[in-house]
Structure 1
Amino acid sequence: MGETQAFQPCNSFATTLRFLTVFLLASTLLASAQTKTGRWSEEQASSWYARQPWLVGSDYIPSNAINELEMWQADTFDAQEIDKELGWAQGIGMNTMRVFLHDLLWKQDPQGFKQRIDTFLAIAAKHHIRPVFVLFDSCWDPNPKLGPQHPPIPGVHNSGWVQSPGTKALQDSAEYPRLKTYVQGVVGAFAKDDRILAWDLWNEPDNNGGGNYDSEEPKGKAELVLALLPQVYTWAREEHPTQPLTSGLWQGDWSSLGAMSPMARVEIEYSDVISFHNYGWPEDFERHVEMLEQFHRPLICTEYMARGAGSTFDTVLPIAQKHHVAAINWGFVAGKTQTYLPWDSWTRPYTLQAPAIWFHEVFHPDGSPYRSHETDLIRRLTTETNGSGAGLHS
């Protein structure tokens, strides 16, 4: 007992010294990364965020598209449907949407793709919505193909979503100049466009894919993406966008920079604003927000709300409001993505009976809310924070 008491001050000093060492190392790394990558300073990021309303929206794809290719290709791009659905978003106070692009769309038709993005932005602006555009994605089918997309697999969540880049391009460094052209072509075309909120460069970069695609995933996929992601930031940064760059953390220990995975550290060190995903219970959501507040940058939750997993509008959105965290939930209108079905539908398809509780989504295809209490809550909280009829901010 006496020995333990005698050594406590020494242990406390050693612990404090270790903490200070880690803190100084992390600060040095972050400062070095800022100089090296040209990312915004904390002051620039805070100033940008102070000009925004409280940002609330959904990950968006029109109900008649199974994936980002079907949304954007000329034969299936549906401006009328997008206009109708974004009108529903405006009606409940949403002011942003997270929208996925794809490298093959640029390869197929750069000018047409830019024109369709411009059309989408005009529709979104009409409804006072500024999107976050996602350039790459490591989730679901690793073998994307242009042209007509297959119909939804009955009873299966996100059965037609495709990765960008696909396995072939990710494994072949000779494809990287094409990917650079895509990044710089899209970002460069809209680098000064106030209708765009932010660029999300890579969705869940170290995701192993999901679904039933394990045998089709490239060997060492995470390592390939880890080497490529800093280059993607550099390519985008060379276009001097006025919008912030980010890539969302989604797994692992975020308690300190030293505890993070190499991928998460790249995302923290290169991003202008910090984005993240959380599908946990409200206590878990708030705990992760508080972890990320140590980096003194705006926080954008770019995926949350999975009712069956414990993440709901009722419990999470008020926490986001309290911490002034932007809140973008997965899924808006139930449709061909079938993400109202849970993740386990890949192993147990819901072909005979739909689940009693929708996993994602806000609206039925006819525009009626899945739960009017939820849309009332979104409208009330956004009105409390932003006022009614909040317009565009720059």
Structure 2
Amino acid sequence: MKRRMGPALIALACTAMGASKANARERWTSAQANAWYAKQPWLVGANYVPANAINQLEMWQAATWDPVAIDREFGWAQAMGMNTMRVFLHDKLWQQDPKGFKTRINAFLAIAKTHGIRPMLVFFDSCWDPDPKLGPQHPPIPGVHNSGWVQSPGAAILADSAARPQLKAYVQDIVGTFAKDDRVLAWDVWNEPDNLAPAYAATPGKVAQVQAILGDVFRWAQAMNPTQPLTSPVWSHDGDWAPGGKRKPIEAIQLDQSDIVSFHNYDWPETFEAKIKQLLPYDRPILCTEFMARGNGSTFDGSLPIGKRYNVAMMNWGFVDGKTQTRLPWNSWYHPYTLTQPTIWFHDMLKADGTPYRQSEVDLIKRLVDAPTSNRQPPRKGG
């Protein structure tokens, strides 16, 4: 059954498409990207969802939207020196209530500004549950990491070519509304687009479907002429991301279309630094938009000083321990921690009351935020 947009969504789509013809911009040159980055402080923050939300839908839907909790938790982030947050949107939220969703985004940005935080907003995400549903979300599965996170778009919409206009309208309405809003740091058009969400049943043809639309998503956003940069993070553990390297087709789209380069790395410091060196030849700002999995060798102590040395923006996964249960490791999907707890937290920084899991991590962030920032050249031998 083909999906059809209602009159209100059709009107929004037509408005967005009309604006795109007059205002479309190209991908930024490296000079434009670096000029933008030169105006930023060293960017440090987290991937954020309130502790009382299990996923993007519960964070943003009107019935569970909680600006008081966001304000409180952003106060904790501000106190430790954080100045950005990476925050996930969802296409179903826009389809459900475009005006209300944008009103809540505006309120969210207002809260963030009072705490000196400029968020990066994420449109689409290929991770975890491929069958998102609006309305009340299920409670956390006991002992399981991120048990309620949902993909955007879901598998059914991704596979439906007739749904492309509504996805385009979603992107262009949101970007168009906030295209000149300095409270928005950047747009992440698609998180880990070729992630196969291994904890769930395989989605047939998913990578090919994403590959077919990813370049379009960049162009949809560019067409609204945003003053903020666009990006999509490369993330594979064994990826060869250097120019001329053995890049996967999706990685090539990401790296060749992004205004600023972003990547994910949950490995030991040596691997983290090697990934940065692969990306330096692009001569563009580099943002690490996911890192820090203590049990996997990715820690604040190991990675954050390297990011500072290269002037790479750093956003760890997990902020306040809550319904996402990301203090638990990835393997909890197969071996739930229902009787025992892991020796160390996997992600997350703060307990529910705002006290640090490890005070030394907070102290390190404060110290590095206050320290001078170098250029992005590789360090000389011996430091």
Residue type of the partner of 2:117? Answer: I
Aligned to 2:151: 163
Aligned: 1:356 with 2:373 = no
Structure 1 unaligned residues grouped into runs of 5+: 1-35, 387-394
Residue type of the partner of 2:336? Answer: P
TM-align CA RMSD: 1.1
Residue type of the partner of 1:302? Answer: T
Once residues 69 and 344 of structure 1 are traced to their aligned partners in structure 2, the CA distance between those partners, rounded to angstroms, is 24
Once residues 74 and 122 of structure 2 are traced to their aligned partners in structure 1, the CA distance between those partners, rounded to angstroms, is 18
Q: Out of 339, 347, 353, which is 1:366 matched to?
A: 353
Aligned to 1:384: 371
Aligned: 1:42 with 2:27 = no
Q: CA deviation at 1:244?
A: 0.1
Bigger Cα Rg: 1
Preserved contact between residue 58 and residue 331 of structure 1 (Cα < 8 Å): yes
Q: Out of 299, 302, 311, which is 1:324 matched to?
A: 311
Residue type of the partner of 1:382? Answer: V
Aligned to 1:129: 117
Residue type of the partner of 1:237? Answer: Q
Q: Which runs of 4+ in 1 moved over 3 A?
A: 255-258
Aligned to 2:78: 90
Residue pairs, 1:236-385, within 5 angstroms: 236-251=221-236, 252-385=239-372
Preserved contact between residue 257 and residue 265 of structure 1 (Cα < 8 Å): no
Residue type of the partner of 1:281? Answer: W
Aligned to 1:12: none
Richer in helix (by share): 1
Q: CA deviation at 1:258?
A: 3.9
State TM-score, norm by structure 2. Answer: 0.90
Once residues 153 and 176 of structure 1 are traced to their aligned partners in structure 2, the CA distance between those partners, rounded to angstroms, is 33
Preserved contact between residue 25 and residue 225 of structure 2 (Cα < 8 Å): no
Matched position secondary structure for 1:385: coil
Once residues 227 and 98 of structure 1 are traced to their aligned partners in structure 2, the CA distance between those partners, rounded to angstroms, is 25
Q: CA deviation at 1:218?
A: 2.6
Q: Out of 178, 195, 201, which is 2:189 matched to?
A: 201
Aligned to 1:7: none
Residue type of the partner of 2:230? Answer: L
Q: Out of 54, 60, 63, which is 1:66 matched to?
A: 54
Preserved contact between residue 58 and residue 97 of structure 1 (Cα < 8 Å): yes
Structure 1 window deviating more from structure 2 (376-385 vs 40-49): it is: 376-385
Q: Out of 211, 218, 238, which is 1:226 matched to?
A: 211
Q: Deviations over 1:241-279 (max 9, x none)?
A: 000000000012223334110010000110000000000
The aligned length equals 348
Preserved contact between residue 332 and residue 361 of structure 1 (Cα < 8 Å): yes
Once residues 175 and 235 of structure 1 are traced to their aligned partners in structure 2, the CA distance between those partners, rounded to angstroms, is 14
Residue type of the partner of 1:350? Answer: Y
Matched position secondary structure for 1:107: helix
State TM-score, norm by structure 1. Answer: 0.87
